[in-house]
Amino acid sequence: MIGLIRNEWMKLFSKMSTYIFVGFMVLGIIGAGFISNFLNNATEQDVKEAKQTLADSNASEDDKLMAADILASSEGNMTETVWDFMADWAIGLVSFITLFTVIVCSGMVASEFSDGTIKQLLIRPHKRWKILLSKYVTSLMFAGMLLFTLLVSGYLVGLIFFGNGSFTAEIPDPSLSGDMVEVGGYFVDMLLYWIPGFFIIITIAFMLSTLFKTTSIAVGVAVFILFASSTLNFVILNLVDRYSWLKFILFPHLDLRSLFLLDLSYEGASIGFSLGLLAVYYIVFLAITFFVFRKRDIAI
């Protein structure tokens, strides 16, 4: 199995797109650092002018009201430490990890059929399920590498631009509840709540890769499902109170961050139910994937 995984890993890094995906994560977080720093400077300038307006005895009441609004809205909007940066920007970029891993997963098996290399792969003295499992494990390893790259580069960029800060410093709750939450805990929660849905999405992409023999179709369908899921999620959440059976549909449970951390949930929803439902879908998708690949006719 280790040899098969090593072989898949080498094939993955023989493609230019792999380096582009890794480079994008690094350049993306560096760009986020510059943008966040620019927004900080603009906000600081607005705050400075607002304070001057409030201190000016000749300023009109309208100008003072406007200055007070600027001061109020500036609170909590600035990136002040590395953990603020990780909670705001690094978490935002994990969506690209999902997209890039979906593209890689979608082509893992389909590309073997498209390139005509599937026969050379399956004539080796390895069981089909081992070959397929090695491709799936390689996809997960690639996702782990992207996540590691993002977190390490994000922490370093945040440290350079904004300096170190307390992991337990409090920030306004992004769900607009009015409460204060610990920035480090919020960052970890957002990451942990992203992982289950991520596993399901890349497993769907991997399943599609076994169902289609053309890479472009497998990638296209997988990416379409990825982007359509947020729209379907919105529609289902608006109808779930009227049609209770909709709570068993997969899409709302893919984004646990929105469902439970950002307070977009529906009445009666629970993290246990969502995780249980995702586990059932996960087993079904993997079962379909391995069954289809074992029965696949490679003579066509």
- Give the tokens for residue 202: 């890349």
180 phi and psi, to 5 degrees? Answer: -105, 140
- pLDDT tens for 51-72 read 777 777 777 777 777 777 776 6
Residue 247: the pLDDT is 80
Which mean pLDDT values do the consecutive 10-residue runs of the chain (300 residues) have?
83 86 91 86 76 74 74 67 86 87 81 73 76 88 92 91 82 69 85 88 85 73 74 77 80 78 69 88 91 72
- Region label for 178, one of left (φ > 0), alpha (ψ between -120 and 50) or beta (otherwise): left
pLDDT at 264: 64
Q: Give first-to-last CA distance, the chain, whole Å.
A: 27
Beta-sheet pairing, 180-182 with 170-172:
antiparallel
Q: List, for residues 129-178, the tens digit of each pLDDT value.
A: 888 888 889 989 999 999 999 999 999 998 898 888 788 887 777 666 66
pLDDT at 76: 61
Which residue type is seen at 237?
Answer: L
3-state secondary structure of 193: helix
